[in-house]
């Protein structure tokens, strides 16, 4: 983008404005001086005042001021400024998209829902003040928000930050079964962190005790990890130069914190990324395409407001791809339950309807559109993505 052109244009506006303002100062000073000179004359002739002198002083002043013609002077400097003031917005309109609401569908966007989404966004980020503030100001006291849940999460995280693992371990043991279902090793990781802390700051007996009570139950499942942890005992006091120095790395704390956030959100039925943030950033990427589309459709007098599906793809980055969408390369139809993707013996994939067409409703074998191989309907099988 030619931001430099815009910057230059803006600098010109500021320059003209400064010029105009110093002109104003100059003219005001000038007028002021003339009046003061007239005043001085008055005072010097004060004793022998004749009304003739007085009149002539004032008349002279009037003439002088008319000669300065301040208003015209202002107009001159203002004219150039005005030109620049109206040029700049036009430049902005040319360089930017002046109306990004062209692709907006005029539907009632329920602001209660939007407010609730915003409040939850703040809570999820740990910005409890802001969440409370919008709930209060918008009067959304009925909104279902996840404040207490996220409050619990941030209390756990805050404790973890000062190396107090107790709240985290309490939460993990309360949710042990669910975490196991998710295939999370968070409990072991937290206990390992605790054990390493004791090993570095406590006595050997403490560390051994801790390992017996809390690490032993994991011995079967995580043989290697436990072996390493126990190996550390031999190097107590000089762990940093031991083969296990890696276990002291602060990244273990960071990773466990991240996993705790992930698992906590998952058990809440939430994503660990704010959904508002995901939807809006998808909008940042998608809106330019939608605006182009809206322009084209307006030119063709096609209806934007009512269509059920966008006529063209809006390409988003990988991270916004949440679902498998199969598009048949022959019919360009999107796969569905009635029209699922089918794998042919040559390992190419078409949708069922295309295969039915090619095989004349499974009455004969057909050639794959992508390779020379022949196939029959019976040889094709449905795929599940």
Report the site for other proteins in 35-54 (rule: CB under 8 A). 35-36, 38-39, 42-43, 46, 49, 54
Q: Per CB under 8 A, which region of 87-95, 164-172, 200-208, 249-257 contacts other proteins?
A: 87-95
Under the phi-then-psi rule, with left for phi > 0, alpha for psi from -120 to 50, and beta for the rest, what region is 73? alpha
Nearer to other proteins, 167 or 340 (CB): 340
In whole angstroms, how close is the CB of 312 to other proteins at the nearest point? Answer: 6
331 binds other proteins (CB under 8 A): no
Nearer to other proteins, 234 or 383 (CB): 383
Residues 249-268 that bind other proteins (CB under 8 A): 265-266
| Closest residue by Cα to residue 345 from 316, 315, 380 | 380
111 binds other proteins (CB under 8 A): yes
Please select the residue that binds other proteins; options are 95, 149, 159, 359, rule is CB under 8 A.
95
**From residue 8 to residue 27, what is the string marking binding to other proteins with x (rule CB under 8 A)?**
--x---x--x--xx--xx-x
Residues that contact other proteins, how many (by CB under 8 A): 122
Question: Residue 51 has which token pair?
Answer: 């009304």
Please select the residue that binds other proteins; options are 148, 321, 361, 363, rule is CB under 8 A.
321
The one-character DSSP state at 334 is B
Nearer to other proteins, 85 or 227 (CB): 85
Residues 202-221 that bind other proteins (CB under 8 A): none
Query: SS3 letters for 208-274?
Result: HHHHHHHHHHHCCCCHHHHHHHHHHHHHCCCHHHCCCHHHHCCHHHHHHHHHHHHHHHHHCCCCCCC
Q: Per CB under 8 A, which region of 114-122, 162-170, 221-229, 231-239 contacts other proteins?
A: 114-122
Question: Residue 327 has which token pair?
Answer: 């598009």
Residues 270-289 that bind other proteins (CB under 8 A): 270-271, 273, 275-289
**What length is written for the chain?**
385
Q: Residue 359 and residue 353: Cα distance in Å, rounded? A: 10
381-382/341-343 β-pairing: antiparallel
CA atoms within 13 A on the CB side of 295: 10
Query: SS3 letters for 17-49?
Result: HHHHHHHHHHHHHHHHHHHHHHHHHHHHCCCCC
In whole angstroms, how close is the CB of 279 to other proteins at the nearest point? Answer: 4
| Exposed e or buried b per residue across 4-17, where buried means at least 16 C-beta atoms within 10 angstroms of its C-beta | eebeebeebeeebb
Strand partners, 374: 367
Q: Per CB under 8 A, which region of 2-10, 199-207, 248-256, 352-360 contacts other proteins?
A: 2-10
32 binds other proteins (CB under 8 A): yes
Residues 343-382 that bind other proteins (CB under 8 A): 343, 347-349, 370, 381-382
148 binds other proteins (CB under 8 A): no
């Amino acid at each position: 983008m030619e931001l430099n052109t815009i910057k230059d244009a803006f600098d010109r506006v500021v320059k003209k404005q400064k010029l105009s303002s110093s002109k104003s100062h100059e003219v005001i000073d000038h007028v002021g001086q003339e009046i003061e000179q007239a005043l001085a004359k008055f005072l010097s002739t004060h004793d022998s005042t004749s009304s003739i002198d007085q009149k002539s002083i004032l008349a002279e002043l009037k003439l002088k001021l008319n000669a300065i013609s301040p208003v015209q002077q202002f107009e001159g400097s203002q004219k150039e400024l005005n030109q620049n003031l109206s040029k700049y917005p036009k430049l902005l309109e040319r360089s930017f998209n002046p109306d990004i609401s062209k692709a907006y569908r005029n539907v009632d966007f329920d602001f209660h829902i939007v407010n609730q989404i915003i409040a939850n966004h703040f809570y999820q980020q740990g910005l409890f003040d802001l969440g409370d503030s919008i709930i209060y100001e918008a009067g959304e006291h009925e909104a279902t928000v996840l404040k207490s849940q996220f409050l619990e999460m941030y209390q756990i995280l805050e404790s973890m930050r000062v190396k107090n693992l107790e709240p985290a371990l309490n939460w993990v043991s309360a949710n042990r079964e669910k975490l196991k279902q998710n295939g999370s090793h968070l409990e072991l990781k937290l206990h390992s962190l605790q054990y390493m802390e004791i090993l570095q700051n406590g006595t050997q007996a403490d560390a051994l005790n801790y390992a017996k009570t809390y690490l032993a139950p994991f011995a079967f499942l995580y043989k290697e990890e436990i072996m390493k942890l126990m190996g550390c005992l031999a190097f107590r006091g000089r762990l940093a130069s031991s083969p296990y120095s890696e276990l002291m790395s602060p990244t273990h704390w960071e990773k466990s914190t991240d996993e705790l956030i992930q698992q906590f959100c998952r058990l809440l039925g939430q994503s660990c990324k704010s959904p508002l943030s995901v939807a809006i950033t998808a909008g940042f990427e998608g809106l330019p395409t939608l605006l182009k589309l809206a322009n084209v459709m307006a030119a063709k007098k096609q209806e934007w407001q009512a269509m059920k599906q966008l006529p063209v793809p809006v390409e988003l980055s990988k991270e916004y791809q949440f679902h498998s969408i199969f598009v048949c390369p022959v019919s360009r139809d999107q796969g569905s339950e009635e029209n699922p993707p089918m794998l042919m013996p040559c390992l190419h994939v078409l949708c069922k309807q295309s295969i039915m067409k090619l095989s004349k409703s499974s009455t004969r074998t057909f050639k794959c559109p992508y390779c020379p191989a022949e196939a029959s309907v019976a040889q094709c099988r449905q795929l599940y993505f």
